[in-house]
Amino acid sequence: MISKEYRFEAPRDLGQALSLLEKYGDDAKVLAGGMSLVPTMTLGLVQPDVVISLNHIPNLDYVREEGNVLKIGALTRHDTIRKNELVKRHCPLLAEAAACIGDVQIRHRGSIGGSIAHADPAADYPPVMLTLGAQFRLQRTKSDRTVPASAFFRDLMQTALEGAELATEIQVPKLPSGAGSAYLRLHRVEGNFAIVAAAAVVEKGFKSVRVGLAGVGPKAVLVDVTSRFKGGLDDAAVKGVREDAAKASVDAYGDLNGDADYRRAMAQVYAERAVRAAVSRVR
Amino acid sequence: MKYIGQSVPALNNRQLAAGKGTFVADIQPDGTLHMAVVRSPYAHARIRGIDTKAAEAVPGVVYVITGKEIRENMNPIMEAYDTAAMGAKGVKWYALCPERARFVGEAVAAVVAEDKWTARKAADLVDVDYEELPVVHDPEEAMKPDSPLVEPEWGDNILVTRDFRTGDVDQAFKEADGTISGVVKTQRYTGAAIEPRGYLANYDPFQDLLTFWASTQNPHPMRVFLAETLGIPETTIRVIQPHVGGGFGLKIPTFQEEPLLAYLARKLARPIKWIEERTENLLVGGHAREERLYYEAAYKQDGTVIGLRAKVIADVGAPSALCGWGQSFVTSYCIPTVYKIPNNRVQLFSVVTNKCPWNAYRGYGKEAASFLMDRIMDGVAKATGLGRPEVRLKNYIQPEEFPYSQVSGAMLDSGNYPKALKRVLQMIDYENFPKMQAEARKQGRYIGLGIGQELTPEGCSMPRSTLLSGYDGATVRVNPSGQVTVLTGVTSPGSGNETAMAQIAADMLGVDIKLVKVIQGDTDTCPYGLGNYSSRSVIMGGSAVQMAATEIRQKMLKVAAKMLEVGPDDVEVADGKFSVKGAPTRFVLFKEVASTVYRHCYGPEACDVEPGLESTRYFRHPNVYHQPETQGRFSSYPSWPNQAVACIAEVDPETGVVKVLRYCAVHDSGVVVNPLMAEANLHGGIVQGFGGALYEHLVYDEAGQLKTTTFMDYTCPTAVDVPRMEVEHQETPSPFTPLGTKGVGESGVTGPLGSLCGAIENALPHLDLRLSEMPLTPHRVWRAVREAQAHGGRA
């Protein structure tokens, strides 16, 4: 249970939220969907003095199309992303991943902003963000910058967010027409974190073949295997995918679900399977 | 029979589905205080001192207590099993450790406060000065002479040993055509009931009455344990068991928190509540199952197993007052289960370690014995080249050989194992499976078929035990207006046996089941009984209901006969009417007879019978033998349900992921009172079996720290992960119970273990896979596949 008393702030606009974050600094934690924060507080792993809820700020929950990019508000819930027509049409990989997060209850509360800021090594969005080449808008009272996903995920649950910064928007480039994509994950029971996950995109003509991998190290990793596909999807390409996936999982960790050897092996299996599935969906 | 044998929907369904059940957490008298427990963070540590000042200073804190006060004011917790009578070593286990903690989570202090958050906050401020001691974490290491000791006074880490022998096992191994050997390792896991433990204790000093609401399985024994432990008369305690959200044996007393809360309530004379958190439940709510079974089997080329050596090494956790360690004894007691093996030696070593103590968990050790035999039969089949069904059929105890005395002296009552196996093989279409398998191979898929056999003795009864005995009582009362009240000494942990009791009473009395009300779980109103465990509720409790209801029926028949002016032998009762046999238009209503007895006891119809329509009777199961000197045997389980299972599973050798495609079971619990509820119970048991086979594992590290303290890490199968189950019933009645019932509560948990190992091995015949370590996680299966591949396929 949460036995330590804390101050609860419910700002009504983004500016107020950013000021509060500036004011309280490390003493505060941000509450979006709460699907990561609340369990850590309940278990006593984190005991903030202040909780700043973003849930009363309007206009943080949206999916918009702007030219070649989909812009998604940080408070957009996973279930919204799963069902959204724009996402399904232009970034089906993102919808596919959103559908896998936790369970129905978690998907209705959890937010994309909260998930990427938390940066769990086994989370579902990070590998997808890397594969899609997403960018994140990070705001604080004095600045407003955009950081690519590749620079955002730094280390085990560590991101480029500086102190009083909030991720406010996720910008995802649309997939080129005809591209195939697939998200596959290995997990124990329904609702659990992935042991490993692979998010693959294959562009028409094998112009680009990329796989984002989660669960293979302290952070998600992007493996670009385009050069392996000069001859299309042949034995050499598959071998190449596995080799590159193995290299990318050199920092794989072991836990109750399996040791580092197992994760490295599964990274290779899932990278291959995700790429094959993506190939089969190329139109 | 109108109701017995029918699928009557459970009486409590609407209430529970509406969320209107009353669980301990719902009970909230005015002024209820809350307790939080301070627990040892170390697996083994001496308590040098406890500073409670900071905790006491927190506003809203009412009292802080440590082990010193407990030891000065209370006895050690009364044991569920008399360890001395069983030839086992025991300990003095106090409600709070006064000197030394022997597992992470053991209770060392407690805080009572106005609300649970304040109690927890203050508990976190209790400053305990610990001196860490060496940790015993592996049972085989613990058996070595230079191992640190969990209990210094013991001299070693062995709680109990056994050595059962029949025939001449050394000679059998000399005469064998071949032998197989290996080890089967079951993991530590638990039941994870949806409702964790919780109690509310309230003391009235004017009446000198402690009322103790408990999510428990055994209110009357709990009353005895609390009385003994607190050193107060039983008659000053009332235990009430409200609705319980699952127990599975894990809520059998006595845990530290029970006498602790009772003591505090008496001291403070205010109601105090304690509902544990899930992490506490996984940490200290009772563990089970961690065993290593070493075996050697000697066989003849025709598949007969002529000799068996088995050594059971059980890691029972730290010694306590709980009855869990008995599970290791039961594993050794059940070997070789359903098979007739003439020469055996079965050894048991129950070893203590610095881990959470075992408590009873559905299966109670029987699952390991059956799992072992499944692996042995599969192994003999592989070694001889015979079919796996063939080897089992060759070695079964035959139906006409019952009652059958097993190696340990266990007296198996009845069964037809060959019939059940043959039927389950038909259900799963064993004959055509090789074709299915070949088709799947063409698609690049690996599927396999495995067989399992359960033997699940029920009705556990031990000499000189407050908790475990083969008797129970029931009161049946016909009220003046003809409605029926049944009060039982058995209880329901959420399994719904109260419905079965109503069915039995309604049939014995010939009334509509809607007129029957069942009351359970209150020591003030229900006759003394032992509660629920070992599937005894229908066997013992139902039989007592049958006896009491029959006694009242006989009395009412006499009165009805007088009212109808015929002899009692000419009257029968059904559908609420006592009528003349052969002349159904001549009848009196059930309620008219009741009215006559209550209101006209001096009149001609009722003057020859004792007034009142209330009977309390006790049933004692005849198939229990506790006097070996005069009876020539010792047998403590009267009733032996069994089950044959078969499953088809798909394996992905690249990832180790196993998916169960079909699961079939033919189950025999003798006569079944309520098929719907029996089936529901079986489904639950089978799901827990899958949990144990594939998913659940309580993992400790070498420092004795539990790594799986939430459901994120302790992965229980969800509804999505559970395969379709196909269950059929076979009824080989028990010759010993009035209704022929055997109990169904623990069946289902065993079958998945051996059948899944067999199915995975069968799916990958090109590999010499010998699965022996559970659970069958993808990682473990993957590793076994890799190792078999490294050894180049079939040896």
- Residues A34-75: tens digit of each pLDDT: 999 999 999 889 999 999 999 999 999 999 999 999 999 999
Distance of CA B25 to CAs B28, B117, B277, B771, Å? 8, 15, 12, 43
- Token output for B601: 């006891």
Cis upstream peptide for B9 (omega within 30°) = no
Nearest CB to A262; choose among B697, B699, B782: B782
Interface test with A, best of B282, B779, B780, B787 (most A CBs within 10 A): B779
Nearest CB to B117; choose among A3, A189, A258: A3
Parallel/antiparallel/unpaired status of strands B33-39 and B657-668: unpaired
The pLDDT assigned to B622 comes to 85
User: Cβ–Cβ of B707/A186 closer than 8 Å?
Assistant: no
- Token output for B346: 């079965």
Quick one: pLDDT band at residue B590, thresholds 50, 70, 90? very high
Quick one: pLDDT band at residue B231, thresholds 50, 70, 90? very high
Interface test with B, best of A3, A47, A186, A270 (most B CBs within 10 A): A3
The pLDDT assigned to B794 comes to 46
- Mean pLDDT on B600-621: 96
User: Cβ–Cβ of A189/B654 closer than 8 Å?
Assistant: no
A6 touching chain B per CB within 8 A: no
User: Cβ–Cβ of A1/B720 closer than 8 Å?
Assistant: no
State the smallest CA–CA distance between residue B451 and chain A in angstroms. 24
For A68-114, what is each residue's pLDDT tens digit?
999 999 999 999 999 999 999 999 999 999 999 999 999 999 999 99
As a whole number of angstroms, the distance between CA B679 and CA B495 comes to 11
Among A133, A31, A38, A105, smallest CA distance to A74 is for: A31
State the smallest CA–CA distance between residue A38 and chain B in angstroms. 14
User: Cβ–Cβ of A189/B695 closer than 8 Å?
Assistant: yes
Is B380 in a helix, a strand, or coil? Answer: helix
A265 touching chain B per CB within 8 A: yes
For A5-37, what is each residue's pLDDT tens digit?
999 999 999 999 999 999 999 999 999 999 999
Mean pLDDT of chain B: 95
For B304-327, what is each residue's pLDDT tens digit?
999 999 999 999 999 999 999 999
For residue B355, pLDDT beyond 50 = yes
A189 touching chain B per CB within 8 A: yes
Pairs of CB atoms within 8 A across A/B: 54
- The answer to whether B750 and B711 are in contact (CB under 8 A) is no
For B216-225, what is each residue's pLDDT tens digit?
999 999 999 9
A191 touching chain B per CB within 8 A: yes
For residue B14, pLDDT beyond 70 = yes
* Residue numbers in B near A3 (CB within 8 A): 117, 120-121, 124
State the smallest CA–CA distance between residue B432 and chain A in angstroms. 31
Among B218, B363, B361, smallest CA distance to B286 is for: B361
State the smallest CA–CA distance between residue A198 and chain B in angstroms. 14
User: Between B395 and B741, whose confidence is greater?
Assistant: B395
* Residue numbers in A near B120 (CB within 8 A): 1, 3
Q: B-contacting residues of A 22-51, CB under 8 Å?
A: 39, 43
User: Cβ–Cβ of A4/B121 closer than 8 Å?
Assistant: yes
As a whole number of angstroms, the distance between CA B362 and CA B526 comes to 25
| CA angle in degrees (0–180, nearest 5) for B49-B53-B58 | 140
Nearest CB to B120; choose among A1, A190, A265: A1
- Token output for B322: 């709980």
For residue B795, pLDDT beyond 70 = no
The ipTM (two decimal places) reads 0.93
As a whole number of angstroms, the distance between CA B343 and CA B335 comes to 12
Please report, as a single letter, which amino acid is at residue B170: D
* Residue numbers in A near B697 (CB within 8 A): 256
- Token output for B620: 């004692």
Please report, as a single letter, which amino acid is at residue B52: T
For residue A179, pLDDT beyond 80 = yes
End-to-end CA, chain A: 51
The pLDDT assigned to B108 comes to 98
Quick one: pLDDT band at residue B793, thresholds 50, 70, 90? low
Q: B-contacting residues of A 90-129, CB under 8 Å?
A: none
Segments of A88-231 assigned E as strands: 135-140, 143-148, 153-155, 158-159, 166-173, 180-186, 196-202, 209-214, 221-224
- The answer to whether A81 and A95 are in contact (CB under 8 A) is yes
For B163-192, what is each residue's pLDDT tens digit?
999 999 999 999 999 999 999 999 999 999
As a whole number of angstroms, the distance between CA B568 and CA B593 comes to 13
For A265-278, what is each residue's pLDDT tens digit?
999 999 999 999 99
For B431-479, what is each residue's pLDDT tens digit?
999 999 999 999 999 999 999 999 999 888 888 889 988 899 999 999 9
Record the pTM.
Answer: 0.94
User: Cβ–Cβ of A269/B717 closer than 8 Å?
Assistant: no
User: Cβ–Cβ of B655/A266 closer than 8 Å?
Assistant: yes
Q: Read off φ and ψ for residue B730, nearest 5 degrees.
A: -125, 140
For residue B738, pLDDT beyond 80 = no
A254 touching chain B per CB within 8 A: no
For residue A242, pLDDT beyond 80 = yes
A143 touching chain B per CB within 8 A: no
User: Cβ–Cβ of A258/B779 closer than 8 Å?
Assistant: yes
Quick one: pLDDT band at residue A145, thresholds 50, 70, 90? very high
* Residue numbers in B near A190 (CB within 8 A): 718-721
Quick one: pLDDT band at residue B692, thresholds 50, 70, 90? very high
Q: What percent of chain B has pLDDT over 70?
A: 100
State the smallest CA–CA distance between residue B191 and chain A in angstroms. 17
Residue B12 half-sphere exposure toward CB, CA atoms < 13 A:
23
The pLDDT assigned to B740 comes to 83
* Residue numbers in B near A192 (CB within 8 A): 712, 715
User: Cβ–Cβ of B779/A188 closer than 8 Å?
Assistant: no
User: Cβ–Cβ of A186/B710 closer than 8 Å?
Assistant: no
* Residue numbers in A near B113 (CB within 8 A): none
Residues of B with CB under 8 A from a CB of A: 116-117, 120-121, 124, 277, 279, 654-655, 657, 695, 697, 699, 707-708, 710, 712-713, 715-721, 777-779, 782-783
Q: Read off φ and ψ for residue B291, nearest 5 degrees.
A: -140, 150
* Residue numbers in B near A193 (CB within 8 A): 712
* Residue numbers in B near A195 (CB within 8 A): 778
